[in-house]
Structure 1
Amino acid sequence: MKGQKSLVLQYSASRHNWFYYLGQGFSQQLLRWRQLHRQRRELARLSDAALDDIGLSRADILREVERPFWDDPLKK
């Protein structure tokens, strides 16, 4: 009987860890999407001279800004 009780506690703890890591992954994804949205908004605000300095055209920026927030170019 004693061994069964510890097995139940182990199962409960591992289940809790699973929910914790799921929540962590979800919150990290939300933060990444927010970061992408801010970066694209900042790109749209750059002047033509600044875009020329970094080697991008206004058309490149418009294409990037029109991408949905979940479209992450670094995601593999």
Structure 2
Amino acid sequence: MARSQMTAPTLRPLSVQPLPPVSRVFVALAQTVLTWELRRAGRHALRDLDAHLLDDIGLTAVDARIEADKPFWQD
């Protein structure tokens, strides 16, 4: 087959209907809860890092403690 005859398949998007307003609220709520959980888990893991690992990521023990002590809802 000649190179000019080879074409990439095209994908047609499915007709996607927008979510109803109540569903959008629940999706936004779920995304917020997921963000909070990821922050909580990341800060908990940061608290447990050794000094040499903190040095590897460019943080001091004080910086790590300040970040780890933030509440999950605070960015």
TM-score of the superposition, structure 1-length normalised? 0.71
> Whose helix proportion is higher, 1 or 2?
1
User: What are structure 2's unaligned runs of at least 5 residues?
Assistant: 1-18
CA offsets 1:41-68 (integer angstroms, 9 cap, x no match) = 1111111010111111010011001111
The residue number in structure 2 matching 1:62 is 65
User: What are structure 1's unaligned runs of at least 5 residues?
Assistant: 1-15
Matched, 1:20 2:23: yes
The separation in 1 between residues aligned to 2:58 and 2:31, in whole angstroms, is 31
Matched, 1:35 2:27: no
Aligned-partner residue type, residue 25 of structure 1: A
The separation in 1 between residues aligned to 2:27 and 2:58, in whole angstroms, is 37
* Secondary structure class of the residue paired with 1:69: coil
* Secondary structure class of the residue paired with 1:71: coil
CA-atom RMSD, angstroms? Answer: 1.2
The separation in 2 between residues aligned to 1:22 and 1:54, in whole angstroms, is 37
The number of residues matched between the two structures is 57
Aligned-partner residue type, residue 57 of structure 2: I
